[in-house]
Amino acid sequence: MKTSTLQDVARVAKVSTATVSRTLSNPNVVSESTRRRVSEAVKITGYRINRAARNLRTQRAHSVLVLLPDLANPFFSAILEGISRNLSQQGYSMLIASTKQVHDSGERLIDYLDDARADGMIILDGGLDADIVEMLETAPQANRILFACEWIDGANFPSVRCQNRQGTRTAVNHLYDLGHRKIAHVTGPEGNVLMHSRKDAFVDEVEHLKLEQRPEWIIDGDFSLAAGCQAALKWVGLHDRPTAVFCASDQLAMGFIAELSRRGFKVPDDVSVMGFDDIDLAEHFIPPLTTIQQDRLMIGETAAKMLMARIVTPNEANSDQAAVLPVSLVVRESTASLR
Amino acid sequence: MKTSTLQDVARVAKVSTATVSRTLSNPNVVSESTRRRVSEAVKITGYRINRAARNLRTQRAHSVLVLLPDLANPFFSAILEGISRNLSQQGYSMLIASTKQVHDSGERLIDYLDDARADGMIILDGGLDADIVEMLETAPQANRILFACEWIDGANFPSVRCQNRQGTRTAVNHLYDLGHRKIAHVTGPEGNVLMHSRKDAFVDEVEHLKLEQRPEWIIDGDFSLAAGCQAALKWVGLHDRPTAVFCASDQLAMGFIAELSRRGFKVPDDVSVMGFDDIDLAEHFIPPLTTIQQDRLMIGETAAKMLMARIVTPNEANSDQAAVLPVSLVVRESTASLR
DNA sequence: GTCGTCTTTGTAATCGATTACATATTTTGT
DNA sequence: ACAAAATATGTAATCGATTACAAAGACGAC
């Protein structure tokens, strides 16, 4: 059983294919009576538009590619939900791939745009190699690329991000207000823009509050649980231990706490620990995690909206290059007043 | 700057478009010399195939839709990774949507197949409404639908799943071997096939081992952290508390443990707790979770492989209706011998 | 009655690849 | 040396929608 085409509908409604097409995509230019006849015929034939045909004719893929560094990261799920929600409202589909996989398979990212598979892309990975970034920047479709959460320093792609500096400042001040004066920071991965953004803000704020600073109180990490565990060991090994630790991600914080608890330390009794992101698990962790909340659904929706605007009106000089979304402090039980 | 087409390549290589097309998709039917000329021309022109055109002509979308109940569930990430990996090897793209969202937007699932957006779909949601299932079953493209992890009882779609019964039996026996004789079960959501599969296997095994059974030792849940917390309260309220609890998911187990620890109980000292799935977080949880491991990457890869086989050769009577993948016991620290 | 305007509909070209069929060329067998 | 078979390439139709342009009809103004 073949699905029916515009031709079939036209035949049944006794009009031309042009009229059927118009009825479907621009109903107000056809008369009331034919509109009814066509609708009737559509129902009778069970007509469904063939997107491949439309895509070819309109030179639009009607889909957007979302690139993650890694599909297995729970941080992204809510962002995807937001993107998908907004796209499907506009009749667009969401393609997903991971940068690693695309790279491994020998494809080039820009191919997705070049071969009409996607009309635009949202990249959630700020860690692309310099040559890939170069290629994206110089591509003719560069204006249909947008970064979310992370971005590329130096490149001027539009982006959606949260207030990383402000969030960090809020976190440090929360700890300060609890009486902590010796505060450590577990960073993200070297070279990551979020890592730098948060680390710089941390250093600035600690300086601003005139707190003691020591190089060994900045502990290298990479956003992962495992790195959090590593960091905990470093903390345990310090002579003069900070009384509070601000981790650059929730996963770091969880790993940190998990490892400490394995070593017999208690959070927040022995040390206050904060994360960043507010992933789903944060509130159910033991202890529930004090953290900086990012509205990931909104990040996704905003990213989709901005990208779609650029796809629909490509040459308009969209001035809003970067949307910076607010963050908020969520106080739970992993932080406490200094005894 | 327009991207170049087959025509352009043909002009540069001084051959017909047919020859270029053949060179690209079936190189061994063209002569060595033209093959070289065409490759050269492709390089010069920077030709990229236009997938919309190919899709229209070949009547293939070259993409597969993956349907999740909920994008924000970390359980699915590794499965997606597996699916994506296999699909991209074969030049296919992965579309993602959530059943909830598709439903809310008024679309019908089958539309994705009908309107040539996808060649097949992998459904990770066994909780579809009966009328939707009915629609899928009677659709002409029903043979390009496959379920993974979950499935629909009664319908005979092909599926990929793990050994739910065997895993449950293994779990119960692990607890039994540790000396536990009073074992509770926290179930998945009512109506879910996995929930029934695991619960039935649990009851059977408990009976087989001649253990005491009580209705209140089967606690209703729904796979979520929150339900795990609820279940913990129920457990706390029991007169005669089971010494071990087998939860139908890791998230349940984590919620269960989290809530207990908030109430001053210790795991595994006061009660042994097991999960099912082995999600990424399980090994970093406090205490690290004893659980039944599903190889989610393999589930994804198998699902993609099976579906692709059906897409490529649609009428072949694929006898392997259900692939059942092995599970394994991972012993960590949330279970211990009965004192 | 004629002209202009507006609305509604049809005709046919088009998007860019694939492929059945025809044709030209080379190879093989006897 | 000639027929048959195999190989290589070109011609042109095709997938199914969209849309520029043309044309036909309705209406009112003068």
Contact A260, A291 (CB under 8 A): no
Asked, for residue B55, whether it belongs to a domain, the answer is no
Q: With bands split at pLDDT 50, 70 and 90, how would you rate the model's confidence at A3?
A: confident
Here the CATH number for the domain that contains residue A226 is 3.40.50.2300
Mean pLDDT, to the nearest integer, of A264-281?
94
Distance CA B278, CA B293 (A): 5
Contact A52, A37 (CB under 8 A): no
Nearest chain B residue to A87 by CA: give it.
Answer: B97
Nearest chain A residue to B264 by CA: give it.
Answer: A286
pLDDT at B269: 96
Distance CA B117, CA B99 (A): 16
Distance CA B64, CA B135 (A): 19
Whether residue A92 is found in the same domain as residue A237: no
Give CA separation, A103 vs A98, A111, A148, A252, B48, in Å: 9, 12, 20, 27, 17
Residue A258, pLDDT above cutoff 60: yes
Share the mean pLDDT of chain B.
Answer: 93
Nearest nt to the B10 alpha carbon by C1': D10
pLDDT at B1: 62
DSSP string for residues in A136-159? HHHSTTGGGEEEESS--TT----E
Q: Give percent of chain A with pLDDT exceeding 70.
A: 98
Residue A30 neighbours by CB distance under 10 Å: 19
CB pairs under 8 A between A and B: 145
Cβ distance of A80 and B96 shorter than 8 Å: yes
Whether residue B155 is found in the same domain as residue B303: yes
Domain that holds residue B174: 164-294
Asked, for residue B337, whether it belongs to a domain, the answer is no
Nearest protein residue by Cα to C1' of nucleotide D8: B30
Say how many domains are in chain B.
3
Q: Which helix (H) or strand (E) holds B190?
A: none
Q: With bands split at pLDDT 50, 70 and 90, how would you rate the model's confidence at A316?
A: low
> Which sign, positive or negative, has the C-alpha torsion A199, A201, A203, A206?
negative
Tokens of A103: 């790279």
Whether residue A282 is found in the same domain as residue A174: yes
Nearest Cα of chain A lies from the Cα of B209 at a distance, in angstroms, of 34
Tokens of B272: 């042994």
Residue carrying the six token digits 């509070």 = A244
Asked, for residue A336, whether it belongs to a domain, the answer is no
Distance CA B64, CA B54 (A): 16
Nearest protein residue by Cα to C1' of nucleotide D15: B57
Burial category of B274 from C-beta neighbours within 10 Å (exposed 0-12, middle 13-18, buried 19 and up):
buried
CA of A93 to C1' of D16 (A): 20
Q: Is the CB of A17 under 7 A from strand C?
A: yes
Whether residue A248 is found in the same domain as residue A154: no
Distance CA B158, CA B236 (A): 42
Residue A32 neighbours by CB distance under 10 Å: 8
Mean pLDDT, to the nearest integer, of A263-278?
95
Tokens of A7: 């031709």
Q: With bands split at pLDDT 50, 70 and 90, how would you rate the model's confidence at B107?
A: confident
Whether residue A122 is found in the same domain as residue A177: no
Distance CA B172, CA B160 (A): 24
Whether residue A136 is found in the same domain as residue A168: no
Phi, psi at A10, each rounded to 5°: -60, -45
pLDDT at A248: 97
Asked, for residue A335, whether it belongs to a domain, the answer is no
Whether residue A256 is found in the same domain as residue A310: no
Residue A126 neighbours by CB distance under 10 Å: 23
Whether residue A169 is found in the same domain as residue A279: yes
Strands (E) located in chain A: 63-68, 93-98, 120-123, 145-148, 159-162, 183-186, 218-219, 244-247, 272-274, 291-294, 322-325, 327-330
pLDDT at A320: 61
Whether residue B42 is found in the same domain as residue B133: no
Quick: pLDDT tens for A44-90: 999 999 999 999 999 999 999 999 988 877 788 889 999 999 999 99
**Residues across chain A:** 339
Q: Is the CB of B12 under 7 A from strand D?
A: no
**Pairing of the two strands B327-330 and B290-294:** antiparallel
Asked, for residue A334, whether it belongs to a domain, the answer is no
Residues of B in contact with A107 (CB under 8 A): 88
Q: Identify which has the larger pLDDT, A70 or A172.
A: A172
Q: With bands split at pLDDT 50, 70 and 90, how would you rate the model's confidence at B67?
A: very high
Distance CA B80, CA A73 (A): 11
B48 touches chain A (CB under 8 A): yes
Paired strand residues for A272: A244
Nearest Cα of chain A lies from the Cα of B205 at a distance, in angstroms, of 31
Mean pLDDT, to the nearest integer, of B309-314?
86
pLDDT at B320: 61
pLDDT at A75: 84
Report the candidate in B205, B260, B195 with the shortest Cα–Cα distance to residue B231: B260
Contact A93, A87 (CB under 8 A): yes
Q: Is the CB of A116 under 7 A from strand D?
A: no
Q: With bands split at pLDDT 50, 70 and 90, how would you rate the model's confidence at B97?
A: very high
A155 touches chain B (CB under 8 A): no
Contact B66, B80 (CB under 8 A): yes
Reported as half-sphere exposure (CB side, CA atoms, 13 A), residue A208 has a value of 12
Distance CA B5, CA A131 (A): 26
Distance CA A84, CA A122 (A): 11
Mean pLDDT, to the nearest integer, of A236-256?
96
Asked, for residue B336, whether it belongs to a domain, the answer is no
pLDDT at B300: 97
Report the candidate in A158, A137, A162 with the shortest Cα–Cα distance to residue A147: A158
Residue B73, pLDDT above cutoff 80: no
Asked, for residue B332, whether it belongs to a domain, the answer is no
pLDDT at B77: 84
Mean pLDDT, to the nearest integer, of A36-50?
95
Residue A1, pLDDT above cutoff 70: no
pLDDT at A318: 62
* Residue-wise burial string across B176-203, b where 16 or more C-beta atoms lie within 10 A, e elsewhere: bebebebbbbbbbeeebbbbbbbbebbe
Cβ distance of A286 and B140 shorter than 8 Å: no
Quick: pLDDT tens for B217-245: 999 999 988 899 999 999 999 999 999 99
Phi, psi at A251, each rounded to 5°: -65, -40
Residues of A in contact with B77 (CB under 8 A): 71-74, 77
Distance CA B48, CA A115 (A): 6
Residue B62, pLDDT above cutoff 90: yes
Residue carrying the six token digits 């990774």 = B81
Residue A105, pLDDT above cutoff 90: no
Instruction: Lowest mean pLDDT of A3-7, A310-314, B181-185, name the range.
Output: A310-314
Q: Is the CB of A53 under 7 A from strand D?
A: yes
Q: Is the CB of B43 under 7 A from strand C?
A: no
Report the candidate in B48, B51, B40 with the shortest Cα–Cα distance to residue B2: B48
Residue B319, pLDDT above cutoff 80: no
Whether residue A315 is found in the same domain as residue A241: no
Residues of A in contact with B61 (CB under 8 A): 51-52
Mean pLDDT, to the nearest integer, of A176-204?
96
- CA A254 to chain CA centroid, Å, is 21
Whether residue B157 is found in the same domain as residue B179: no
Q: With bands split at pLDDT 50, 70 and 90, how would you rate the model's confidence at B339?
A: confident
Asked, for residue B334, whether it belongs to a domain, the answer is no
Strands (E) located in B183-259: 183-186, 218-219, 244-247
Whether residue A171 is found in the same domain as residue A155: no
Residue B45, pLDDT above cutoff 90: yes
Give CA separation, A231 vs A221, A223, A226, A238, B156, in Å: 7, 11, 9, 11, 51
Tokens of B261: 């620890």
